[in-house]
Amino acid sequence: MKQPSTPSYYRATATPYVPYAPLQGQHETRIAIVGGGYAGLNTALGLAERGVRDVVLLEREQVGFGASGRNGGFVFGGYSLGEQALLDQLGEQRARALFNLTTAAVERIRERVKKYAIDCDMVDQGVIWANWFRDPGVLRKRQQLLADHFDTHWDWLPQQELRERVRSERYYDGLYERNALHLHPLNYAIGLAAAAAGQGVRIHEDSDVWRMRREGTRWRLSTSQGELLADQVVLACGGYLAGLQKKIDRAILPIATYVMATEPLGDRLDECLQSRAAVYDSRFAFDYYRPLPDTRLLWGGRISVRNRSPHAVQRLLGHDLLRVFPQLKGVKIDYAWSGLMSYARHQMPQVGSNGDGLWWAQAFGGHGVAPTCAAGELLAAAIAKGDEGWKQFSNYGLDSTHRPLGFLGAQASYWWHQSNDWFKTRLEG
Ligand SMILES: Cc1cc2nc3c(=O)[nH]c(=O)nc-3n(C[C@H](O)[C@H](O)[C@H](O)COP(=O)(O)OP(=O)(O)OC[C@H]3O[C@@H](n4cnc5c(N)ncnc54)[C@H](O)[C@@H]3O)c2cc1C
């Protein structure tokens, strides 16, 4: 396989736009948002849609520079924390309410893509959860749990039917989640930014906030070329750590994960996929992939506490790809990249406030496209109207992740689960 080029496939196919100018000079605003990923952009757009126009969003690099412009593009309900754990921790009513926020977010994403004509290759064809193991127990249990407690219905895919859609001998049966879609994540972020800017939000790229201080009842944010005085501040910096408030930064473990895109496959794509749904499998350390409009296969997987070079990503994921689709032997990988997710110890998003005009939305883990949209809505409703819906996340606070020790724990836990999957696979022969 030839060495992949940089940057990511998404950056190479990004919707062109005139860059937003850096913040320069002294400014004042009602609301400042730090971070131009989905969490920040959805909050900005939610505020604009509620008629709050005095909003400034500051992004260190470009909108969608972080996880939001690098991810797998799967849009589905739920959180990084599984549904059973959510139920155990919160009880039926609260767990269901939190889960429903994300399924409503999937619908909101559909609507916004249409309403703002966001050109992001949205494929509204659902997601397949393919069973890596012979034992159907885990799938049956989850299907039942979702139906009984979350009023969510995933269809059973017997092995034969799954293999008609996904041409791999690796899988047994599967589940099909209809209310799910996939899209070009960076172009979705660029579209959200354009929608917010079109309604008066002032966006500044290349504006790294390096200091944030309380000044009377307001907050003063400093960038290299400017200063902003704000009544309220939203920190939405994910795994790219703002470095502004210790307590908020320490609550996050940035974890790397990897993605690549093959060369255009032409008819060979049909030799792998007869469906246009996105696919992931039932292991803890699962593969995920989806077809792209130009017949490439986008492939992701693995997590680690360290970033890897595009070449190393290609080597790792290339091996995973051929295990599932040996028919793609010799295929060229055109792009490979990595991104940082933000994890909390409790594996749930942290959406909260200190009551002093400081808000945060972070820790969306590897399952953030819909939850960031939900969080943006909650924060926008809170700031614009005093709504208290964000308090539904109050169980999930800013517990310290104890970096750097926390990294060791996370890596060890990942290896532990990965080896369990490996043994289970070997046992099943
Ligand atoms: C490779 C990968 C694959 C994934 N796949 C999926 C998937 O298929 N489906 C799914 O639901 N989720 C997926 N996720 C998770 C999802 O992408 C994230 O949960 C989501 O994008 C988080 O958004 P965010 O706004 O919190 O953070 P980010 O998108 O990381 O944005 C944070 C932004 O803050 C900026 N910033 C940081 N500090 C400062 C500062 N001091 N001043 C100014 N700006 C600052 C950064 O530059 C960055 O742009 C994946 C993540 C990765 C990395």
CA 191 – CA 41 distance, rounded (Å): 10
Does 389 score more than 80 pLDDT?
Answer: yes
Residue 236 alpha carbon to ligand 1 centre in Å: 9
CA 283 – CA 355 distance, rounded (Å): 41
Residue 66 alpha carbon to ligand 1 centre in Å: 4
Look up tokens 């490996």; give the residue: 422
Probe ligand 1: pick from 252, 364, 377, max atoms within 8 Å of CB?
Answer: 364
Look up tokens 């996880």; give the residue: 67
Which atom of ligand 1 lies nearest, measured to the CA of 223? 42
**Residue in 332, 358, 209, 177 with CA at minimum distance from that of residue 260:** 332
The two beta strands, 278-281 and 74-75, are: unpaired
Q: 77: Cβ below 6 Å to ligand 1?
A: no
At residue 27, the pLDDT reads 98
Does 418 score more than 90 pLDDT?
Answer: no
Average pLDDT for 38-55:
97
Does 3 score more than 70 pLDDT?
Answer: no
Average pLDDT for 48-58:
96
Residue 416 gets which letter from DSSP? H
Probe ligand 1: pick from 43, 103, 240, max atoms within 8 Å of CB?
Answer: 240
Does 334 score more than 90 pLDDT?
Answer: yes
Does 5 score more than 70 pLDDT?
Answer: no
At residue 6, the pLDDT reads 67
- 121-134 pLDDT tens trace: 999 999 999 999 99
- 222-240 pLDDT tens trace: 999 999 999 999 999 999 9
Band of the pLDDT at 1, cuts 50, 70, 90? very low
Displacement of CA 265 from its chain's centroid (Å): 26
Q: 339: Cβ below 6 Å to ligand 1?
A: yes
**Mean per-residue pLDDT over the chain, rounded:** 94
Does 56 score more than 70 pLDDT?
Answer: yes
**Residue in 94, 53, 147 with CA at minimum distance from that of residue 380:** 53
Domain chopping of the chain, boundaries: 9-427
Asked which of 3-17, 107-121, 271-285, 372-386 is least confident by mean pLDDT, the reply is 3-17
At residue 4, the pLDDT reads 52
- Comparison of pLDDT for 288 and 427, the residue scoring more: 288
Asked which of 304-318, 358-372, 387-401 is least confident by mean pLDDT, the reply is 304-318
At residue 115, the pLDDT reads 98
Based on the number of CB atoms within 10 Å of its own CB, is 77 exposed (0-12), middle (13-18) or buried (19 or more)?
Answer: buried
Question: Is 9-427 a domain of CATH 3.50.50.60?
Answer: yes
At residue 191, the pLDDT reads 98
Average pLDDT for 56-68:
98
CA 137 – CA 349 distance, rounded (Å): 29
Band of the pLDDT at 2, cuts 50, 70, 90? very low
Probe ligand 1: pick from 369, 377, 379, max atoms within 8 Å of CB?
Answer: 369
Q: Number of H helices and number of E strands within the chain?
A: 11, 18
Give strand pairing partners of 359.
234, 353
CA 346 – CA 298 distance, rounded (Å): 29
Residue 427 alpha carbon to ligand 1 centre in Å: 37
- 272-331 pLDDT tens trace: 999 999 999 999 889 999 999 999 999 999 887 777 788 888 889 999 999 999 999 999
The residue type at 205: E
Q: 126: Cβ below 6 Å to ligand 1?
A: no
Residue 36 gets which letter from DSSP? -
Residue 118 gets which letter from DSSP? -
Q: 61: Cβ below 6 Å to ligand 1?
A: yes
Residue 249 alpha carbon to ligand 1 centre in Å: 14
Does 216 score more than 50 pLDDT?
Answer: yes
Which atom of ligand 1 lies nearest, measured to the CA of 258? 1
The residue type at 290: R
Residue 140: Cβ within 10 Å count: 14
- 130-181 pLDDT tens trace: 999 999 999 999 999 999 999 999 999 999 999 999 999 999 999 999 999 9
